[in-house]
Amino acid sequence: MKKALVTGVTGQDGSYLAEFLLDKGYEVHGLIRRSSSYNQERLEDLLTEEEANALLNNSNFHLHYGDVTDALNVTRIISEIKPDEIYNLAAQSHVRVSFDMPGYTLDVDAKGTLNILEAVRILSLTEKTRVYQASTSELYGKVQEVPQKETTPFYPRSPYGVAKIYGFWITKNYRESYNMFAVNGILFNHESERRGETFVTRKITLAASRIAQGKQEKLFLGNLNSLRDWGYAKDYVECMWLILQHDKPEDFVIATGEMHTVREFVEFAFKHTGIHIEWQGDGIDEKGINKETGEVIVEVDPKFFRPAEVEQLLGDPTKSKTLLGWNPTKTSFEQLVQIMVEADMRKVENEEKVKVMFD
């Protein structure tokens, strides 16, 4: 039985990946942070009630308290598990927040990656343990080429992107210096019903569902013109695994090859709740109007603008299609929006009216 360690297991991707690996017959170890509030909702989906009860005694799923910024802790956990595969998904992953917390983002996203690679090296596991690093299309930032592929030069536009560029290069450097199977998946945006609630897609699908059910008045957004290559997270975790099963350690772009504006995402999301949007005005005065009632339900709030923006991202998935046999459009853009809206329409059914939205 293969053993995998997943950092960031409580996050969107970590929860899907743990599920995927358990289905493949892996013994899965997840790193979780101590938190004053419960942070394991996404993991509950992994377990039947029976499995949850059996978890502590006899299960293939194990949780370890830890933090990637704590090198001693990470080294001890890796030395105890001696995993065949490590998926380093832990990150301060919010781009706008990285402008507020650049130092912390650096500690987690850059130094955290080094801590894992160093642990593998110090413990003499370089021949046994394969390491996957969660790299990102944010590395391309102010894009130097359209579409972006593995050879496109990087130009990050946020403290998050700059910290992740260290993660990318240190992974490649350990591969070249110590002959490790250490690789980067350069993933473009991927979303799901488990997406964090302050990323734009989930913010939109939750708000559209609440507005349709009379539980929220308006949705405030930043840059409506921003273009993203959005895929489905459940499809993308399969690719992380494929990258580690490949015969050679190589970096791969994972994307759909299609991009849409935030404005289009808003239109599709509301459409699935039965509301049709009409746009009026420009720039910060642009408003989304409910065509049937004439009410303003979407407005621009400059507080959601970023000090430096990534205007567009479009990935070229040719390499992952050809070498890994991965299908980038298993779930279409419209299906993705529909999956998210349907899940949120169910979720908000039993909610009270929203009092205030800070983010």
- Footprint of ligand NAP (CB under 6 A): 7-14, 31, 33, 35, 39, 67-69, 89-93, 108, 112, 134, 136, 187, 189-190, 196
Using CB under 6 A, which of 13, 27, 67, 138 touches ligand GDD?
A: 138
How many CA atoms does the CB half-sphere of 178 hold within 13 Å?
Answer: 24
| Whole-number Å distance between alpha carbons of 168 and 217 | 42
Closer CB to ligand NAP, 112 or 156, in the complex: 112
Judged by beta carbon, residue 102 or residue 196, the one nearer ligand NAP is 196
| CB 348, CB 206: distance < 8 Å | yes
Instruction: Please name the helix (run of DSSP H) or strand (run of DSSP E) that holds residue 262, with its range, or none.
Output: helix 262-273
Of the candidates 183, 124, 197, the one whose C-alpha atom is nearest the C-alpha of residue 150 is 183
Q: What, of ligand GDD, ligand NAP, none, does residue 10 touch, CB below 5 to 8 Å by kind?
A: ligand NAP
3-class DSSP state of 4: strand
Contacts of 50 (CB under 8 A, 6+ apart): none
Neighbours of 29 (CB within 10 A): 23
Give me 195's structure tokens.
């997406």
Phi–psi pair at 194, nearest 5 degrees:
-100, 5
Q: Which does 250 bind (CB under 5 to 8 A by kind): ligand GDD, ligand NAP, none?
A: none
DSSP string spanning 52-64? Answer: HHHTTTS-SEEEE
Residues 148-207 that bind ligand GDD (CB under 6 A): 188-189, 198-200, 203
Interaction partner, residue 69 (ligand NAP, ligand GDD, none; CB < 5-8 Å by kind): ligand NAP
Q: Decide: is 137 part of the binding site for ligand GDD (CB under 6 A).
A: yes
CB of 184 to ligand GDD, least distance (A): 12
Q: How far is the CB of 161 from ligand NAP (least distance, A)?
A: 10
DSSP 229-260: --EEHHHHHHHHHHHHHSSS---EEE--S--E
- Is 127 known to be catalytic? no
CB of 353 to ligand GDD, least distance (A): 20
CB atoms within 10 A of CB 218: 16
Contact pattern for ligand GDD over residues 93 through 132, marking x by CB under 6 A: x-xx------------------------------------
Please pick, from the candidates 287, 304, 338, 342, the single residue that binds ligand GDD as defined by CB under 6 A: 304
Per CB under 6 A, contacts with ligand GDD among 259-278 are: 262
Q: Catalytic residue among 26, 160, 232, 236, which?
A: 160
- Cis geometry, peptide bond prior to residue 147 (ω within 30 degrees of 0): yes
Residue 238 binding partner per list ligand GDD, ligand NAP, none, with a CB distance cut-off of 5 to 8 Å that depends on partner kind: none
As annotated, the active-site residues are 136, 138, 160
Interacting residues with ligand GDD (CB under 6 A): 93, 95-96, 136-138, 188-189, 198-200, 203, 221-223, 226, 228, 262, 304, 306, 309-310, 313
